[in-house]
Structure 1
Amino acid sequence: MTKNLLCIGYGFSARALTQVLHPLGWSISGTTRSTARAEDMLTHQVTPILWPGENLYTALTEASHLLISAGPSAEGDPLLNAVDLTPYDFSWVGYLSTTGVYGNHDGSWVDETTPLTPATQRGQFRVEAEAAWRATSLPVHIFRLAGIYGPGRGPFSKVRNGTARQIIKAGQMFSRIHADDIAQVVAASIAQPRPGAIYNLCDDDPAPPQDVLTYAAQLLDMPLPPQVDFDTVEMTPIARSFYSENKRVRNDLIKSELGINLKYPSYKEGLRSLLDLES
């Protein structure tokens, strides 16, 4: 099998996947709009492709596998808008979507068969992008990601600098996923492709956001962040919109079909690992 992965939108999740695939002999390339990011990619043996650019077409021709993590807009998916993919031949295509496509379920459980009723414009864009990718003749696999965290992306800095707040909204639940678990699920799908598959990527322990901050403060042996009421606290519109979706996400399919054993089955293991990385 040719092992050449092209990532459209080389970001946090793609970097974690690179760490899994490089030791297996994969060549990785990825698009970015940032020259600084391109230089950083080179230091990690990832071939950068400045978007948009003519070398994108060469990369598409050379790629055996394609991962899309660039977000859509009102105009649709950026790659589908830019390129006719009909001439290209991929063994596997992965699309990183979001559990936001399910919308609000008042804390109830959702799985991959739950109807898509997004509560935000961002979620609606993702629903439309998923449909556009599935309408192609490509071997597409959809990954619906919960809230992503990992090295450099966690609550510790806000707890330490005193800007963390426990935003209290009764009954609010969020699901999460560590970047390393995203990487192992995507790698497992590449090894066991099933075109048309849809997978939820989340851990086993949906939890209120204040519980995560409380645990982070306890790990740091610092005072708990102050509690504030969701209805009265000042928040950006995009931050407030996340609270419009209240659900718990099931992850049974990645276990039964892909044989996944999560490295971080809850935020507790995940936060402890992030703190260990600092020592």
Structure 2
Amino acid sequence: MPGQLFCFGFGYTAEHLAARLLPLGWKIAGTAREADKRAAMQAQGIDAHPFPLPDPAQALAGVTHILSSVPPRDGHDPVLAAHGGTIAALPDLVWAGYLSTTGVYGDAGGAWVDEDSPLNPSSPSGKARVAAEAEWQALDLHLHIFRLSGIYGPGRSAIDQLRAGTAKRIARPGQLFNRIHVEDIAAALAASMAHPNPGAIYNLADDEPASSSDVVSHASTLLGVAPPPEIPLEQANLSAMGRAFYAESKRIRNDRIKRDLGLTLAYPTYREGLAACLSGAVSN
């Protein structure tokens, strides 16, 4: 039965989820800060709002499902700071999803982690995500938390970075992390919405953790171009967030999304995902 979804932060992931749900008769709305983005949403049949909501009661009336991808700000969740009371009082809400990050696990020294592993964030952004998860969990909602690995997909992949001349191969021996194709994120969210399990936490990750250098090298092979030379981490001119990312290494287990959501990844490794990005193919 189609429902009514409201997306706080109608970004890359929400766009792909909406593309799955709109043909099924779902009513979808969301927030975007930029006026041109809101105009584009309206053109797709998505009810667009600025954030914070000028009239939250009106905007959220009848909502059955809520998805938030808005990152923490100043150590707190801005959606809950602005509208937590309204969200908690929604009478028809049967599913809420919060998009977090595998950064909440911190550095595992390359070891495997799963949803029951301790939360040990080392970066400010990871610590803020742990706090935001706790804020969402404190509300009496039908909450599902999704901890995302590195998101990629059409327009946001090593293929696109190579074409734009921005790809880097950073030498960080032993550093491994997982990725997740945006279509597999959308598939997992849709599966959870179809079979709610309030309180559940899911890692959204592919089957093969790998270094960013290996991924860029494979993308170069697909494009038939020479890969950019490897550069030492200290010469990569990274932001503080980028440096924090490369300070962590872990392998993410994804057994739960397969077992509990019945999900078969369309792009189980970066190889299938990058090939699809190159060809423009989309798997639903």
2:90 maps to amino acid: Y
Show the counterpart of 2:108: 105
* 1:123-142 equivalence runs, <5 A: 123-142=126-145
Whole-angstrom distance in 2 between the partners of 1:86 and 1:116: 26
Describe the shift of the 1:163–1:86 C-alpha distance in structure 2 as closer, same or farther (beyond 3 A): closer
* 1:160-175 equivalence runs, <5 A: 160-175=163-178
Tell me if 1:196 matches 2:199: yes
Describe the shift of the 1:192–1:218 C-alpha distance in structure 2 as closer, same or farther (beyond 3 A): same
Identity fraction in percent? 45
Describe the shift of the 1:95–1:161 C-alpha distance in structure 2 as closer, same or farther (beyond 3 A): closer
* 1:69-218 equivalence runs, <5 A: 69-83=69-83, 84=85, 85-89=87-91, 90-218=93-221
5+ residue gaps, structure 2, are: none
Maintained 8 Å contact 1:101/1:124: yes
Describe the shift of the 1:164–1:86 C-alpha distance in structure 2 as closer, same or farther (beyond 3 A): closer
How far is 1:2 from its partner? 5.6
How far is 1:37 from its partner? 0.6
Q: Give aligned pairs, total.
A: 278
Whole-angstrom distance in 1 between the partners of 2:202 and 2:43: 32
Whole-angstrom distance in 2 between the partners of 1:169 and 1:185: 31
What secondary structure does 1:29 align onto?
Answer: strand
How far is 1:182 from its partner? 0.3
1:155 maps to amino acid: A
Describe the shift of the 1:161–1:25 C-alpha distance in structure 2 as closer, same or farther (beyond 3 A): closer
1:239 maps to amino acid: G
Show the counterpart of 1:59: 59
5+ residue gaps, structure 1, are: none
Whole-angstrom distance in 2 between the partners of 1:13 and 1:164: 22
Maintained 8 Å contact 1:2/1:64: no
Question: What TM-score, normalized by structure 2, do the two folds share?
Answer: 0.94
Tell me if 1:267 matches 2:267: no
What secondary structure does 1:200 align onto?
Answer: strand
Which of 229, 232, 236 is the matching residue for 1:233? 236
Structure 1 ranges of 4+ moved more than 4 A: none
Whole-angstrom distance in 2 between the partners of 1:145 and 1:25: 27
Root mean square deviation of aligned Cα: 1.3
2:169 maps to amino acid: Q
Q: Which stretch has the larger CA shift, 66-75 or 103-112?
A: 66-75
Question: What TM-score, normalized by structure 1, do the two folds share?
Answer: 0.96
How far is 1:75 from its partner? 4.5
